[in-house]
Amino acid sequence: MISSIVWVVIFISILIIIHEFGHLVVAKLAHIPVEVFSIGFGPIILKKKLGETEYRLSLVPLGGFIKMTGEEEHAGPAPADAPVAATGYNDKPLGVRVAVIAAGPVSNLILAFLMLVVMYLAFGVKYVQPVIEPYPNTAAEQIGLKSGDLIVSAAGETIPNYERFEAISEKNIGKVMPIAVRRGSERLVFDYTVPKDSVDLKPLVAAVIDRVRKESPAAKAGLKPGDTITSVNGVALTHWEDFVDQVTQKGGQRIGIEWRRGGRLFQDSITPAAERDQMTEQRIGQVGVWVRLPKKSLSFPVAVWEATKRTGFVVVQTVIVLYKVVTRQISTKAIGGPIMVAKIAYEGANWGAEYFIALWALLSINLFVVNMLPIPVLDGGRILLDCIGGIRRRPLTEKEQSWAAGIGWAMIGALVLFTIFNDVLRLIRK
């Protein structure tokens, strides 16, 4: 437990350091003197002055800041013959100022991308095999497709994984698509009509455990990676989805479970933890296991491409979720604060290195998106204010900046209080 808490502290600190370091590097490259570079807030623990910059480590490691010369001054443009190094932040062109402020959140985005590259290179990428199971009484079953069939081609294209089969199916909705399957030693071809409004096929994933979270109900029951779940409450399982359905419906209830390890069968009872889903607010049962899926190793160029796609996808999804929260399509109770972040990071450490790196990248991307919101005192808000000043060709007055900062801090303060309230409410309701 102590080691996991240490990882959480390191986890949060690195995100903050990288963010502030981004501001610092671009400010230095733009020849803007930086007076203070601080990691953390509150009482100063350590400080060291190098050149014009005083580097600080403060007591509360929940943020940081840099103080640039001229950041709060309104001296107007510097004389044409003034030394570049003598000018402050507000004397720089709009593009330079935007670059300095955007460098913090962009550094978090770059960090997330690099972590994903490392993760893909170290662990490969999981995929779902194109082994299928037709839903009962559907056209797929009627044309002769059976549970356990392995799709080898569809519409003339080789199928390496189920995701590719889904992508090809989406392009042929409502059309007849020839698919070839491997059934035992046979190779069979079917004319499959892709349904328009329903799904008649699903992937068949074996109920094999890949990971067991430390201190979870599954770990306490003795389940280990590689175990195959054979039945729950006496009901035989054919695939992972059956196991998930049984567990999610039994949160807080004791259930019997049977599993195979090697050639031996084990039996025990287990009580799934009743966890509240952050999006739906429903309680669902969880035992703390991951499904085992095959992996494929990636070359460096492919890992870079996969990391690029994943980074872009998470950025878009984060923006969509924020939009849905604001428009009340998703409950505001789904928003979490520092307690929730610490809890997720702690649980991530218990899942192992691959999950922890993925979580680290996810939160780093979230930090990028949140900091780019156009709220005064956030980086996005500062960029907005600088752009407003640039459009009207004069910087904001001290009174205008004070008003903007007051609004920004009020919004951030309300958001922090709200998220902490949500965090505490989760702990109480759990």
pLDDT of residue 286: 87
Maximum separation of any 2 CA atoms in the chain, in Å: 85
Q: Is the pTM of the predicted complex or chain greater than 0.75?
A: yes
SS (H, E, C) 176-230: EEEEEEEECCEEEEEEEECCCCCCCEEECCCCEEEEECCCCHHHHHCCCCCCEEE
Q: How many CB atoms lie within 10 A of CB 301?
A: 8
Residue 228 β-bridge partners: 208, 260
What is the percentage of the chain residues whose pLDDT exceeds 70? 84
pLDDT of residue 67: 87
C-beta of residue 111 within 8 angstroms of C-beta of residue 18: yes
CATH superfamily of 209-290: PDZ domain (2.30.42.10)
**Confidence band of 82 (pLDDT split at 50, 70, 90):** very low
Domains in the chain: boundaries: 131-203, 209-290
What are residue 375's phi and psi, to 5 degrees? -110, 125
Which DSSP letter does residue 396 get? P
**Confidence band of 81 (pLDDT split at 50, 70, 90):** very low
CB neighbour list of residue 180: distance below 8 Å, 6 or more residues apart: 151, 152, 153, 154, 187, 188, 189, 190
C-beta of residue 41 within 8 angstroms of C-beta of residue 60: yes
Task: List the CATH code of the domain at 131-203.
Answer: 2.30.42.10
What is the percentage of the chain residues whose pLDDT exceeds 90? 27
pLDDT of residue 83: 44
CA distance 276 to 285: 9
pLDDT of residue 107: 94
CA distance 266 to 269: 10
C-beta of residue 40 within 8 angstroms of C-beta of residue 60: yes
CA distance 34 to 47: 15
Taking only the tens place, the pLDDT of each residue in 335-380 is 665 566 666 666 666 677 788 888 889 889 988 998 898 888 888 8
